[in-house]
Structure 1
């Protein structure tokens, strides 16, 4: 939480206290600002502005040249010594691949800032009980927030999983930031097509040093699922409810982050959870596990993404304009997130809707150049372009996606993966075909939130 005390104006540098010269991030400082006493921890200094965390927990932003610093105390390190964890080599071998995110972050109480700079050894130290479930190995693949992930990082993760299986791992956990975890789950599902071991992506909505952290329970849930069920495929392990009572194992192709901060932010889309982990492991959807097993290939290899591809997502809305589509002429593919069963604004109804003819013309032009597919903003449900005449026109001009129930993120990933591994014509034919279970065979009424 940030709090600015009051507007300020710059003053001459001559009033800067000499103490400023020895201030470092993490220092405890005491000073006077406009006759007010300021005492707290220096979090950062940028462009002449000091960010100071007060004892109340609030941050204040103060101009450095207006703070009369009276005392500075040196940094007190809060970093704990990491001790080796004894491993039981008779337990199943599970590899943890660390990519960053909240699950491997904690607050540095010297500065009040959140950091992700942990070695794999430190990650294991955060979850020492995990060594009682499996023989663990851990290595750093990347250390980044998930919003920074690109196609190239999917390839890095996929090759790392491949290497771990070659080394004898019976399962792999990928720790990952939650913001784009569902994108990565879908990407790994396709890139690891044919995989014969379980791969479980795990995130956390609360950092590991907080009492409300979901990090450890999510990791334990993933470990129990891997070691108990030993089912091949790509899955996600996250809280089923806001309480610590159960961990949901979700299919990597039917999962979505649906809340910004709740611990049970991840939900199944157009399906149910695969399994529920409590003190035991309950299989909920045997069909999903069977479909993953049916797609295994003992000679599987990574089928990577072309990291130069440009795939767009255009979201229709009630004031859409045709020129919004112009930039996609330089793209390799486009996902249109339409409304309902797969609608876009394309009919001229009155003098206010003449723009819609131009939108349809743009979509038609794009569909002749690149693969264009449609999904629905409702998230849940299936595209049906056979119900209304305007939608039948979309099929006629080549828009893909009829009868698909992939959420937009999965559609985006699938189209990118197809264009990375097949010709454009092949990608168009395969897009609406179920390859790994990404398109549900049926849509049960009870399976939506």
Structure 2
């Protein structure tokens, strides 16, 4: 049967009746948007299919893209490059398995969200197509080089479509790697476009608004609440995913967000200072040292865990300590051995909020005497990414220590918020 997008059809299969609007499908399954708001994928084999209502051509455009988004774009708008790396925002449900897979290119994202064409003139490029859990440090280097080329070629802003689970790592990495004259905006979605509660369109539209603004920093733009009211603009070195599935999972830690994007009118309200467009010249330092460990201390853990990293050739270690930044007293000799071997040891806190201070209790003072470096109020994963980046820039131990103690990209604040 010749079904078209926008047709209302009824499908009876295995004594179950499905009725809804035909949606795009990249498999052999017929995908219906049902009146409940949910989607169903039905294989047409042995199914009874009835067209309930044909939609007029002009009505079909309300649901789907009848032509390429590139033919709709206006050349007098700011030029934004949208780079796809995969993740849920660039994913679709595979109705054969029920799993979410990365299947869309950057052009597909533009065609799925036509409102983007009102904000900027877009070019799209797939840098790589991986799910968030498959992200690797070497991909950050490739991404940084691609971003740099896009800026050199005249992009007024960059949007990076990324999986949410590791977005904070990639955003931190590019924050250290690139001094940027234009906005670089990470965006993702907690729920794929197939789901009725998807956050992909709103997040992408708000990200495009920031990409054409004067906020020339690496940021992450995601839902600010569970409603479709505004997105928050988070610094790439101060953001963390704080919930597995809520649409407002991303929060700025130990700082306020840079600001907010009102979804209804696409207006930006800033509440923190930021680097403005054109202030810095483009500078890329994309080298990175992946052989760094992030070790979470738990009560009773043997110092042999730390010994493993030292003896296995790791070049740097971040310890995620308790409270003010503590590990067990019997770990201190191994911290000293690591430092004496030229391996920087950075101490962050599992508490996330607040800052490390190892001068309050005896164990902390012993850790500092052994050569441990306080991460101040850096998030553990940001400290980890910074350590990898620093060791990619220098082989000199003392220089690395100085860089680790310096505030390079807003990763540390001068004082903690109460």
- Fold shared, TM-score > 0.5 on shorter chain: yes
Aligned length in residues: 366
Counterpart pick for 1:341 among 321, 324, 330: 324
Measured in 2, the distance between the counterparts of 1:435 and 1:442 equals 16
Indicate the residue corresponding to 1:420 in structure 2.
Answer: 392
CA shift for structure 1 position 294: 10
Counterpart pick for 1:140 among 120, 126, 133: 126
Indicate the residue corresponding to 2:32 in structure 1.
Answer: none
Counterpart pick for 1:127 among 104, 113, 127: 113
> Which whole-Å deviations, capped at 9, do the CAs of 1:344-381 have from their partners, x for residues lacking one?
111xxxxxxxxxx3x22222211222000100000111
CA RMSD of aligned residues (A): 3.0
Indicate the residue corresponding to 2:215 in structure 1.
Answer: 231
Measured in 1, the distance between the counterparts of 2:162 and 2:110 equals 15
SS at match of 1:238: strand
Measured in 2, the distance between the counterparts of 1:285 and 1:118 equals 35
Indicate the residue corresponding to 1:65 in structure 2.
Answer: none
> Which whole-Å deviations, capped at 9, do the CAs of 1:148-181 have from their partners, x for residues lacking one?
1111100111111111111111100000000000
Indicate the residue corresponding to 1:406 in structure 2.
Answer: 378
Measured in 2, the distance between the counterparts of 1:438 and 1:260 equals 24
Query: Structure 1: 5+ residue runs without aligned partners?
Result: 1-27, 32-36, 39-55, 59-70, 347-356
C-alpha contact 1:385 1:395 (8 A) present in aligned 2 = yes
Measured in 1, the distance between the counterparts of 2:296 and 2:115 equals 45
Indicate the residue corresponding to 1:17 in structure 2.
Answer: none
Counterpart pick for 1:440 among 409, 413, 416: 413
Indicate the residue corresponding to 1:161 in structure 2.
Answer: 147
Indicate the residue corresponding to 1:207 in structure 2.
Answer: 192
C-alpha contact 2:180 2:280 (8 A) present in aligned 1 = yes
CA shift for structure 1 position 73: 5.2
Measured in 1, the distance between the counterparts of 2:279 and 2:364 equals 37
> Which whole-Å deviations, capped at 9, do the CAs of 1:225-263 have from their partners, x for residues lacking one?
222x32211000000111111100101110001111111
Are the structure 2 counterparts of residues 389 and 319 from structure 1 closer, same or farther at C-alpha, using a change threshold of 3 Å? closer
CA shift for structure 1 position 209: 1.9
Within a 5 Å distance, the mapping from 1:178-327 to structure 2 comes to 178-192=164-178, 194-227=179-212, 229-278=213-262, 279-287=265-273, 289=274, 292-293=275-276, 296-298=279-281, 300-306=282-288, 309-327=290-308
Measured in 2, the distance between the counterparts of 1:268 and 1:242 equals 16
Indicate the residue corresponding to 1:20 in structure 2.
Answer: none
Are the structure 2 counterparts of residues 332 and 268 from structure 1 closer, same or farther at C-alpha, using a change threshold of 3 Å? same
SS at match of 2:283: coil
CA shift for structure 1 position 391: 1.1
State whether structure 2 residue 353 is matched by structure 1 residue 380: yes
Measured in 2, the distance between the counterparts of 1:304 and 1:91 equals 30
Measured in 2, the distance between the counterparts of 1:265 and 1:162 equals 29
Measured in 2, the distance between the counterparts of 1:139 and 1:224 equals 19
Measured in 1, the distance between the counterparts of 2:333 and 2:138 equals 34
Measured in 1, the distance between the counterparts of 2:373 and 2:155 equals 39
> Which whole-Å deviations, capped at 9, do the CAs of 1:405-442 have from their partners, x for residues lacking one?
10001100111100001233211121011122211022
CA shift for structure 1 position 104: 1.1
Measured in 2, the distance between the counterparts of 1:435 and 1:378 equals 23
C-alpha contact 2:296 2:319 (8 A) present in aligned 1 = yes
CA shift for structure 1 position 120: 2.5
SS at match of 2:100: strand
C-alpha contact 1:272 1:284 (8 A) present in aligned 2 = no
Within a 5 Å distance, the mapping from 1:24-35 to structure 2 comes to none
State whether structure 2 residue 367 is matched by structure 1 residue 394: yes
Measured in 2, the distance between the counterparts of 1:294 and 1:142 equals 27
C-alpha contact 1:152 1:305 (8 A) present in aligned 2 = no
CA shift for structure 1 position 72: 5.7
State whether structure 2 residue 122 is matched by structure 1 residue 150: no
CA shift for structure 1 position 121: 2.1
CA shift for structure 1 position 284: 3.5
